[in-house]
Structure 1
């Protein structure tokens, strides 16, 4: 079986994204470097125009569509950031967009999608429920489905983060990447391993509802029950008919950690208080893993993929309360 995503695919994606998605900065965190006796770098996908890394994959996919497909519009199911990215890319390319979301998606992310001119449809209690509506739009209205992760063009678009990372820090020892459907980790892992096979790619998921990790443990894609989390962007299944990312993640990921809600909360508040950054839970899980599991990174050059800024004041208050009153 051929590779679902190659290094060549990622270079082609970068060509499509030129002038569209931002090349985001990689900055050294003085506070984290001092604390962990390492060089800890932050890859700031929070500075994408849509506020998250998802823009890369969405643009790469939508830019590949024919003019006839663009005229019929695009649709997707999303936990928030992908929907926002599809809405942004569709508006840029003049296509109608319908974004299907579950009831677990925070209201601020729904509002951000609508502000970009897309229609947001809230359907059911899971991403799988939302996908039923998206697939109906494909079947009945001929809209193009923009997969959140399980598409080689999506994963290749996210992989451009890995290219930038290795160009800016070719001596990278380890990258910590949030793991959900696998498009982000799979794409980054392919790029990083393609340049430096000795670099370690570490995935991080929330404690419960980690579909990819449960699927890897089972040896096949499995369903999981979604639960509310500060890292809501990491929710959702990987699809029982997963065609791309299950195999990709299994190949490029070296190790994995699950993190608790208090650990995610502490990491979010570190970014807010020490780095002066608004960072959503899914973007803070790399730091959460290092702290909660006491991972020894001394002397290493480490990158944390800070994947998105989709957080509001209410969520930050919940994070603070979780730390101050953990039994509540």
Structure 2
């Protein structure tokens, strides 16, 4: 069988699972009784909030660094790894690099919340804050790679990254093989694309649903345009879903276009309501990007009655001040 153009296959996802075994948590899939009753459906929550870094990004970052060591040897990473991130990926790279004995430098824009910056620094990585967008931060990454010989660990646009995130899909199929819908936040496409590559390879009839912000939805705008486009980044409760996909995107644009069946955009008010609902029903404090699946169900009144639904709760990187803002916006 030929390798897909995006470079992500079921075999590469199984290889990723082998590499990251023992480095990440096999996150729980729990049935929410309250949400299931509310929507007359079986609602399952995939708790990537249980990862050591609090988000799914650890899977992809660990897989890529481990794969590079496996392929090229540890000495090739002696000058360190680097990336730009809205927070969760930076923390994941810092953690994975520390566990694997590799130095890390994380570049962040000034929009990244202070709690995420502190979390990265606590893991021993060097943090450089540059500009007002992910694109600005990536300019510094490019310099570190070109001038200082560091190795880029991209947030999403790489087959090893997407394959690492795809291990979530394997776990979903093993824990609940008869799912009807999997609902995933959509930004750069590594999470949705990786999960989709896994579940569609085994059960192509599963409806893979992507959820984006109402503004700044770079992947969705690119899919509509038929090619990667630039979209202005906006401040949002779902800040982890912000940022562009790169005009030279080589993996995730094609991957998402192949596997995603349905797409919704959600408003800030809907995200805020979903964040509060998850805290009230499940006693879990999650970031806005983790709540967009529930936001889509509520805002768009999705017809899911009698279906089995998996919502990927992607991360818990949120400060109490941000949650207070969400609660006020929701009027609760």
TM norm structure 1? 0.98
* 1:271 CA displacement: 1.2
Q: Within 2, Cα distance between the matches of 1:121 and 1:138?
A: 14
Tell me which residue corresponds to 2:154.
147
The residue matched to 1:305 in structure 2 has which SS? Answer: strand
Tell me which residue corresponds to 1:47.
50
Map Cα deviations across residues 38-71 of structure 1 (whole Å, 9 max, x no partner).
0000000000011000000000000012312221
Tell me which residue corresponds to 1:24.
27
Matching residue within 175, 199, 222 for 1:215: 222
Structure 1 runs (4+) deviating above 4 angstroms are none
Q: Is the 8 A contact 1:69 1:143 kept in 2?
A: no
Tell me which residue corresponds to 1:56.
59
Is residue 2:216 matched to residue 1:202? no
Is residue 2:289 matched to residue 1:286? no
Q: Is the 8 A contact 2:107 2:137 kept in 1?
A: yes
Q: Is the 8 A contact 1:230 1:315 kept in 2?
A: yes
Is residue 2:92 matched to residue 1:85? yes
- Runs of at least 5 residues in structure 2 that lack an aligned partner in the other structure: none
Q: Within 2, Cα distance between the matches of 1:168 and 1:72?
A: 40
The correspondence of residues 255-274 of structure 1 with structure 2, limited to 5 A, is 255-274=262-281
Q: Within 2, Cα distance between the matches of 1:75 and 1:139?
A: 12
Q: Within 2, Cα distance between the matches of 1:43 and 1:298?
A: 19
Tell me which residue corresponds to 2:18.
15
The correspondence of residues 249-328 of structure 1 with structure 2, limited to 5 A, is 249-324=256-331
Map Cα deviations across residues 141-169 of structure 1 (whole Å, 9 max, x no partner).
11110000000000000000000000101
Tell me which residue corresponds to 1:111.
118
Q: Within 1, Cα distance between the matches of 2:111 and 2:260?
A: 28
Tell me which residue corresponds to 1:128.
135
Q: Within 2, Cα distance between the matches of 1:35 and 1:281?
A: 21
Q: Is the 8 A contact 2:3 2:9 kept in 1?
A: no
Tell me which residue corresponds to 2:39.
36
Tell me which residue corresponds to 1:100.
107
Matching residue within 184, 187, 193 for 1:180: 187
Q: Within 2, Cα distance between the matches of 1:274 and 1:159?
A: 28
Tell me which residue corresponds to 1:239.
246
Aligned pair count? Answer: 325
What is the root-mean-square deviation of aligned Cα atoms in Å? Answer: 0.9
Map Cα deviations across residues 85-109 of structure 1 (whole Å, 9 max, x no partner).
0000011111111100111111100
Q: Is the 8 A contact 2:13 2:198 kept in 1?
A: yes
Map Cα deviations across residues 192-216 of structure 1 (whole Å, 9 max, x no partner).
1011010000000110000000000
Q: Within 2, Cα distance between the matches of 1:63 and 1:72?
A: 16
TM norm structure 2? 0.97
The residue matched to 1:20 in structure 2 has which SS? Answer: coil
**Larger mean Cα displacement after TM superposition, 302-311 or 59-68:** 59-68
The residue matched to 2:82 in structure 1 has which SS? Answer: strand
* 1:281 CA displacement: 0.2
* 1:2 CA displacement: 3.6
The residue matched to 1:35 in structure 2 has which SS? Answer: helix
